[in-house]
Amino acid sequence: MLAPLSWLKDFAPFEDDIDALRAALDDLGLLVEGVERVGQGLDQVVVSRVLEVSPIAGADRIRRVEVDAGGGAVQVVCGAFNFGVGDLVPFAGVGTVLPGGFEIGQRKMRGVESNGMLCSGRELGLSDDGEGLLVLADAEVMKPGTPLGDALGIEPDVVFDITVEGNRPDAWCIAGIARDLAARLHLPFALPEPVVARSGGPIGRLASAAVQAPDMCPRLTVRVMEAVSVGPSPRWIAQRLTLAGMRPINNVVDASNYVMLELGQPTHPYDLDRLGAPGLLVRRATPGEALVTLDGVERILGTPGRGLGETGDDCVICDAGGTPVGIAGIFGGSSSEISAQPIAKAGRPGTGAARHASSGASWRRVCIA
């Protein structure tokens, strides 16, 4: 499990003595396999705007690029092709030392002088994407010459790669690790007070909940959120999820994943207006029925596998009419995926789909815990 120190600090006043924290975690049986320092070396990297892109004679894999890095035009040679004129990209000038100790020098490529480097997320230690440049959103804070860390709201952090054994489910979340570590170091521990949204009418008027296989799922809780606008998460949430090893999707999905990582309580959001019938039902899968999961793969359910213990007893989450929309605790289905795309079908009277068709923004959502 990946545990960012900044996230652990939400629960207890941990010091920045990384060696001491690592030793304490090891003593607790939460073995630290590795420590990664992120966000280091970004103080010299700045936001730049692409002014011009032109080919280089005799070269088809690199181009000449002029950028404004806050002090006038600067010429660089770049091998990425996922950006164009007007885009904002990270720029590291000559003499900049990137994460990992790589120092940027001045050089010539095919006779063209390069006075710095335009950077990918991987080169900056911000993501695993090294296929192209990190293209930045055009926002007020993204002015050419602004230090990248300030523009992105990124502060240096430390991520512990912790092995949590099967007998420690209490530590399968950030709060659980922080609780144990705080007790070991004799520090005060507290869970942040949650902000609870205003409740509406009875949930039953919007969605039903039923369990037909209580031996597989003894409890199902359904909540409905109305008038939710789907969009990107705040940058700090996306950054925390990334550091914890999860890819940000959108604000609804990210909120679900954030709660799971922080408190160890898995939830899954379904688009209520994409369910065939308004509500959720839990049952055993019938032999041979199929479900297309979020990764676009068709899964055949209710069929025994070759592995030990693969009995074919699959627990499925269905809409109120019994059509599968997810494999319980394993994988959600693509048919009810949370998306910012418009809903094609007509909404039921008074539903979020109808409101979405008119306003272009509001949908309703169902969350199960």
pTM strictly above 0.75: no
Q: 55-59, 139-143, 183-187, 356-360 — which one is most confidently predicted on average? A: 183-187
Q: Tell me the CATH number for domain 45-152.
A: 2.40.50.140
Q: DSSP letters along 249-274, please?
A: --HHHHHHHHHHHHHS---EEEEGGG
pLDDT number for residue 368: 52
Q: Which residue has the higher pLDDT, 13 or 243?
A: 13
Q: Which residue has the higher pLDDT, 233 or 10?
A: 10
Q: 68-77, 232-241, 264-273 — which one is most confidently predicted on average? A: 68-77
pLDDT number for residue 63: 95
Q: Tokens for 349? A: 């009277």
- Where does 141-229 have alpha helices with state H? 148-152, 174-184
Contact in structure between 355 and 348 (CB atoms under 8 Å): no
- CA–CA separation, 316 vs 297, rounded Å? 16
Query: With 90 as the cut, is the pLDDT of residue 170 above it?
Result: yes
**What average pLDDT does this structure show over 251-277?**
89
Where in the chain are the domains? 2-39+155-184, 45-152, 203-368
Architecture of the domain defined by 2-39+155-184: 2-Layer Sandwich (3.30)
Which of 58-62, 73-77, 210-214 bottoms out in mean pLDDT, i.e. has the lowest?
Answer: 58-62
Q: Tell me the CATH number for domain 203-368.
A: 3.50.40.10
Residues above pLDDT 70, as percent of the chain: 91
- CA–CA separation, 216 vs 230, rounded Å? 32
Reduced to 3 DSSP states, what percent helix, strand and coil does the chain have, rounded to the nearest 5?
Answer: 20, 30, 50
